[in-house]
Amino acid sequence: MTEPMLIAKNNDTDSVILPKMANRHGLIAGATGTGKTVTLQSLAEQFSRIGVPVFMADVKGDLSGMSQVGGGNAKVEARVQQLGLSGYSNKAYPVMFWDMFGEKGHPVRTTLSEMGPLLLSRMFNLNDVQSGVLNAIFKVADDNGMLLLDLKDLRAMAQHCAENAATYQTQYGNISTASVGAIQRALLQLETEGGDALFGEPALNLEDMMQTDAKGLGYINILAADKLLNAPRVYATLLLWLLSELFEKLPEVGDLDKPKLVFFFDEAHLLFNDAPAMLMQKIEQVVRLVRSKGVGIYFVSQNPLDIPDVVLGQLGNRVQHALRAFTPRDQKAVQVAAQTFRANPKLNVATVITELGVGEALVSFLDEKGAPTPVERTFICPPESRVGPATDAERSQAMRQSLVAGVYEKSVDRESAYEILKQRAEQAASANPEKSPEQASSSGFDLGGILSGKSSRSDSVLESAAKSAARAIGSQLGRAIIRGVLGSILGGSKSKR
């Protein structure tokens, strides 16, 4: 049986998390500057100490100091003395640094196929119709054996489907030019935000994050998120994808003596902001069922109102730092937080929440029967590693000594949808150097257009005339005549594949 983890203390009580209850999830909440980051660091160390790997996002850059030996912090030393922590010692913890941009850690990549159209629709902020078209594009790619790995694959596939919409309409439904245009604009915006760095190979192997060192300490995986937060939708989608992958790939293990992995989701409100109903159902399903895979999820947010009730009700282990009651919403948050704790006759929780100092918190953890303990006003035990960021040199050294050093640094671009469609277009152009307009349109791929947004093919005289006529004639009869004329002129020609 793994020993309980001491998280906080007061004069009368030691507040501990039971490792076998740690996969029942948790919440760390509190206003800015109340000590959430230090609490997050302390919890991560406790999990690492019992051999549980941890994943967390470093929003401010402060958590990188966990890779270095602590010490020299007067506030930490004073808190150690205050709480009488006899077993406390300054030490470093095993850390793996990750970064979607590959600047402050090993690159984090996935493929479009692995992420899937549901999460991409969320990232692109597509409506229902546009999401349906994106689903159809993925289905066409799957049925034709074309991998969607990076953004140029999806851009090429979207253009191919738009140009051959009539061919696919019966089997896949209408693929409108307007919806494809919305998807292409979303791809352009994602590239502008730097989100294209997320997609490619080698894709992240989740097992690389679930490691222990030679001493049996769980690795603490720290994702650099200071730059990533400039694209909040990308940040939320990346973390939700990681959770979904854990849910889908890990086997059912039931209740273990300790979790296989603990996942901290900082700035949790970004996950739920403007999330469509289908995505909310996905999040709820993952949170509810992933604990049976041995994974604990801890949401970190300023306000408990940021977490939907259907998710909030599943968070058994809670640390509530101070809240400020300056606005009506703040006052409501105080009442909500107070009502979610198991009552303690010694405390007026709604009053105490607004009085807590830095490093103080109201805590309630699950007991052996899975019931929440009465809420206690406590001081959080300080971390043993450095409180504050590591230097660039210290970070680089940790990356060189990492278990995955050199595994993800070099990207690989193997044959996928973009290369296949490009090859088809080149073969068609070589076989038919003077294609008719119908053949040119049905080739389904224009490399210049995909890379520059413009067509690299000059219109023939006949095609230019047809386009001009089509624009000029607005009536239904006129459009029918144009179709009839073009049909009689072009009717005998068929595109060659």
Quickly list DSSP for 435-470. Answer: --HHHHHHT---HHHHHHSS--SPPPHHHHHHHHHH
**How much is the pLDDT for 1?**
66
What distance in Å separates the CA atoms of residue 465 and residue 484, rounded to the nearest whole number? 15
- What is the pLDDT averaged over residues 401-422? 94
Collapsing DSSP to helix, strand or coil, 96 comes out as strand
pLDDT digits (tens, 9 = 90+) for 418-457: 999 999 888 888 887 765 444 544 444 444 444 434 333 3
What is the distance between the terminal CA atoms of the chain, rounded to a whole angstrom?
A: 66
Work out the pLDDT band at 161, boundaries 50, 70, 90: very high
Calculate what percentage of the chain has a pLDDT beyond 70: 87
**How much is the pLDDT for 154?**
96
Q: What is the DSSP letter of 212?
A: B
Classify each residue of 342-357 as buried b or exposed e, where b means 16 or more C-beta atoms within 10 Å of its C-beta: eebeebebbebbeebe
What distance in Å separates the CA atoms of residue 283 and residue 240, rounded to the nearest whole number? 8
Lowest mean pLDDT among 134-143, 266-275, 393-402: 266-275
**How much is the pLDDT for 402?**
95
**How much is the pLDDT for 396?**
96
**How much is the pLDDT for 496?**
39
Neighbours of 483 (CB within 10 A): 11
What distance in Å separates the CA atoms of residue 389 and residue 100, rounded to the nearest whole number? 19
| Residue written as token pair 């999401």 | 131
Q: Is the pLDDT of residue 489 over 90?
A: no
**How much is the pLDDT for 485?**
33
Collapsing DSSP to helix, strand or coil, 352 comes out as helix
- What is the pLDDT averaged over residues 302-324? 92
Calculate what percentage of the chain has a pLDDT beyond 90: 66
Q: Is the pLDDT of residue 336 over 90?
A: no
Q: Is the pLDDT of residue 35 over 60?
A: yes
For residue 11, give both structure tokens. 């004069």
Beta carbons of 91 and 97 less than 8 angstroms apart: no
Work out the pLDDT band at 60, boundaries 50, 70, 90: confident
Cβ neighbours for 257, distance < 8 A, ≥ 6 positions apart: 1, 2, 19, 20
pLDDT digits (tens, 9 = 90+) for 246-280: 988 999 998 899 999 999 999 898 888 877 777 78
User: What are the start-end ranges of the H helices in 258-356?
Assistant: 269-272, 277-289, 309-312, 328-340, 349-352
**How much is the pLDDT for 435?**
57
| Residue written as token pair 């992933």 | 290
For residue 462, give both structure tokens. 């006949």
**Percent helix, strand and coil across the chain, each to the nearest 5:** 50, 15, 40
What distance in Å separates the CA atoms of residue 477 and residue 366, rounded to the nearest whole number? 73
**How much is the pLDDT for 167?**
93
**How much is the pLDDT for 261?**
97
Q: Is the pLDDT of residue 314 over 80?
A: yes
Average pLDDT, the chain: 86
pLDDT digits (tens, 9 = 90+) for 468-485: 334 333 333 333 333 333
The most confident of 152-161, 228-237, 325-334, 421-430, by mean pLDDT: 152-161
What distance in Å separates the CA atoms of residue 304 and residue 349, rounded to the nearest whole number? 15
Neighbours of 195 (CB within 10 A): 24
**How much is the pLDDT for 17?**
97
What distance in Å separates the CA atoms of residue 240 and residue 62, rounded to the nearest whole number? 23
Choice between 351 and 457, residue whose per-residue pLDDT is larger? 351
φ/ψ (deg, to 5) at 321: -85, -175
pLDDT digits (tens, 9 = 90+) for 92-134: 999 999 999 999 999 999 999 999 998 899 889 899 999 999 9
- What is the pLDDT averaged over residues 404-417? 94
**How much is the pLDDT for 223?**
97
For residue 271, give both structure tokens. 């996950």
What distance in Å separates the CA atoms of residue 91 and residue 70, rounded to the nearest whole number? 6
